[in-house]
Amino acid sequence: MSNFIQVRDVLKRHQQLHQDLAEKYRQLGSRANDGRDGMLFDLLSEHQLRMANAIKSYKEQASLGVVNTFFQFTEDPTKTDAITAFTDSDTAHQQEVEQLTMALDEQLLSIYANLRETSATHEVQELFDNLCNHLQQQKIRLATDLATLPDL
């Protein structure tokens, strides 16, 4: 493994992670026993797809100088505790899934903040700061959506 990675590859890795998480939620949703669980997994899948699409947009809108900037080795997001716990889990229990999802978002927020803090240029810091802010907004939206999910 290389000790350096470009911003474009970091973003691509995180975009793929969110797409993989969305697929995991879809799989769990396909086994849901009731309508509320199905709606929960659809909501969580959409949350991950919004993040994947946001990262894609950031990647497309960033200048070549930003996306071609190198980082010294960065943490593989698929190897973090919260993400491993979720991807290894096969639970469809609503409360546990919600807790895993919130822990996962916190872990990703920590990674994005670390990327922001270790960025060598202001432009790259700004990109990861925007990504942190976007994830914070999505977390608020998700919490609101979860709280208003109807009981069936």
- Which pLDDT score, from 0 to 100, does residue 77 have? 65
Q: Token digits for 141?
A: 């939206």
Report the share of the chain in percent with pLDDT over 90. Answer: 39
Domains with residue ranges and CATH for the chain: 4-147 (1.20.1260.10)
pLDDT one-digit tens code per residue, 130-150: 999 999 999 999 989 988 887
Place of tokens 């229990």: 93
Which is nearest to 55 in space by CA: 143, 110, 114, 127? 127
Q: Average pLDDT, whole number, for the chain? A: 85
Q: At what angle do helices 7-30 and 94-118 cross, to 10 degrees?
A: 180
Banded pLDDT at 30 (limits 50, 70, 90): confident
pLDDT attached to residue 51 = 93
- Residue 32's alpha-carbon distances to 28, 50, 93, 129, 130, in angstroms, are 7, 22, 9, 36, 35
The residues, ordered by sequence, that sit 6+ positions from 143 with a Cβ below 8 Å of its Cβ are none
pLDDT at residue 74, rounded to an integer: 64
Chain segment 83-116, per-residue pLDDT in tens = 676 666 666 677 788 888 888 888 888 888 988 8
Query: What pLDDT was estimated at residue 63?
Result: 92
The answer to whether 129 and 138 have CB atoms below 8 angstroms apart is no
